[in-house]
Amino acid sequence: MSSVAEQIPVETAVTEKATALDEVLRNASPSEVIESALRVVGREHLALVSSFGTESAALLKVMADVDPAIPVIFLDTGWLFEETLAYRDTLIARLGLRDVRSIKPLGDALNREDRDRELWFSDPDACCRIRKVEPLKRALAPFRAWINGRKRFQGGLRADIAVVEADGARLKFNPFANITRAGIEAIYAQADLPPHPLVAAGFLSVGCMPCSSRAQSGEDARDGRWRGRSKTECGIHTG
């Protein structure tokens, strides 16, 4: 598997490279996907983006077992639960993560567009743009590829994601595309990973405070995000 991935020329167009890599890695394990990403672009050009949310520890554990020095980008939006910030620090220490970068929105943008901190209510897309989309674009500028934790079982726009896809000029690796909920739970159990503190309070998916709610009986995890709105994604995966 690795030898095929290594044979793909660096100069190949990103879309063609993503298609070729996806063909090779579509049935690969999460660790094999991350190992291939390292071989294709090198650690200095690869980042993992994590929300340190309710399922994040599983992917971070797999990554740490491959290379704990891969840069991890964390978007500190200014609206996160204190429990999420504490969980970030817990996992950094527990997994030995060596390069976690907490990225914040630009102060000028907040003063210009969200001085009263009410944009999440009047225009949640704009709020996500200045607090997540723009900061991530800035954080990813030095990198040629990134890793994220989306899963097909989450449904919606995520139901058909590839293992490797093109994201503009970058490769985007989805090591957990094929994983099941049981697979996530198995990683937590085998590594004795601590759960996000808000899981016990009924949160199955945790993002920013104003736009996250407890799951109701029979709901999918992400049904608690942007409740009552047609919005299902913050924008970092749809741009």
Over residues 153-203, the pLDDT tens digits come to 776 766 678 999 999 899 999 999 999 999 999 999 999 999 999 999 988
CATH number, span 2-195 = 3.40.50.620
Domain limits, the chain: 2-195
Q: What is the mean pLDDT of the chain?
A: 89
In this structure, how many other beta carbons lie within 10 angstroms of the beta carbon of residue 30?
26
234 counts as catalytic: yes
**pLDDT by position in tens, the chain (length 239):** 555 555 554 445 899 999 999 999 999 999 999 999 999 999 999 999 999 999 999 999 999 999 999 999 999 999 999 999 999 999 999 999 999 999 999 999 999 999 999 999 999 999 999 999 999 999 999 999 999 998 887 767 666 789 999 998 999 999 999 999 999 999 999 999 999 999 999 888 899 998 888 877 776 666 767 676 766 666 666 65
- Confidence (pLDDT) at 211: 87
Q: Which of 127, 128, 208, 234 is catalytic?
A: 234
pTM, whole model, 2 decimals?
A: 0.87
